[in-house]
Amino acid sequence: MELIFLGTSAGVPTRSRNVTAILLDLKHPTRGRLWLFDCGEGTQHQLLHTAYHPGKLDKIFITHLHGDHLFGLPGLLCSRSMAGNANPLTIYGPAGVREFVETTLRLSGSWTDYPLEVVEIGEGLVFDDGDYQVRAFPLNHPVECYGYRVEEHDKPGALNAAALVADGVKPGPLFQRLKQGESVTLEDGRTIDGQDYLAAPEPGKKLAIFGDTAPCPAALQLAHGVDVMVHEATLETAMEEKANGRGHSSTRQAAQLARDAGVGKLIVTHVSSRYDARGCASLLAECLAVFPACELAEDFAKVSV
């Protein structure tokens, strides 16, 4: 997978940072998929500076209904339709997201020429299509807000073809069935179990994308053991009380969570507009002091998962 940060500013855009939007390229071998997490104002403009096209999006996940995470949605939906794209799109988000989409389209005399589904979610499983599973976890913010845990299902282990040949099994269609872990009966009457010739399953990738939040009970479960955790760091440690009072986290708190959850890499984002380049460097330094495997996202940065 690959994350592409389309916006990394908190609340309002700056000259160098747009408001929140994160693209996830699943790089699926047969169904190249693009998912979008949040859609702040101007997200479609940010996409124009990348190689990605809105028509390739098939899912959008909204963490909460604050404008800096949502106001880009109507424009993106309409532009996608005006481009003649017919691919279906599903939007997931908290209660109210359906009303927001339907009302903005109705009042502006707009529509979509592609199948559009809006799913209002709660805590728990959002969907599971056999390749990926997404679960939502409630966060601590003034409005209903969720973080999303994306898990790729484990991939079957490689088939030990050499061992099969050594046991007298000729290469052919049976190999495919054995690779699926099936038991097959050979021409000589022997029955062999494909599981006996498979390596251990390859663990799927795991990713946690937080919405805006102060520290909360669900955070450890959401982030536990993921390869990459994306978390806000709106304010510096010295302003932690102010951050928490508004439903946000400090640099130190984001880094402590990454450490305690045993994540592989922390990407901090959603930086207050008060910080210039020097201020952002200080924010990153505060995170690194607690959790060394940390990066501070910039607009258009790419992160492999």
Annotated binding site for Zn(2+): 64, 66, 68-69, 141, 212, 270
What is the rounded CA–CA span in Å between residue 1 and residue 65?
26
Rg (CA), the chain: 22
What is the separation of C-alpha 29 from the centre of its chain, rounded to a whole number of angstroms? 18
What is the rounded CA–CA span in Å between residue 208 and residue 24?
12
Q: Please report the DSSP string for 81-92 in residue order.
A: HHTT----EEEE
Q: Sign of the C-alpha dihedral, residues 58, 63, 69, 74?
A: positive
What is the rounded CA–CA span in Å between residue 6 and residue 247?
23
Question: From the annotation, which residues make up the binding site?
Answer: 64, 66, 68-69, 141, 212, 270
Judge contact between 261 and 225, C-beta under 8 A. Answer: yes
**In the structure encoding, which two tokens stand for residue 58, read together?**
């098939």
Exactly one of 25, 38, 58, 68 is catalytic; name it: 68
Helix (H) or strand (E) holding 2, with range, is strand 2-7
User: What DSSP state is assigned to residue 69?
Assistant: G
68: annotated active-site residue: yes
Angle between helices 97-107 and 73-82 (to 10 degrees): 60
Active site residues: 68
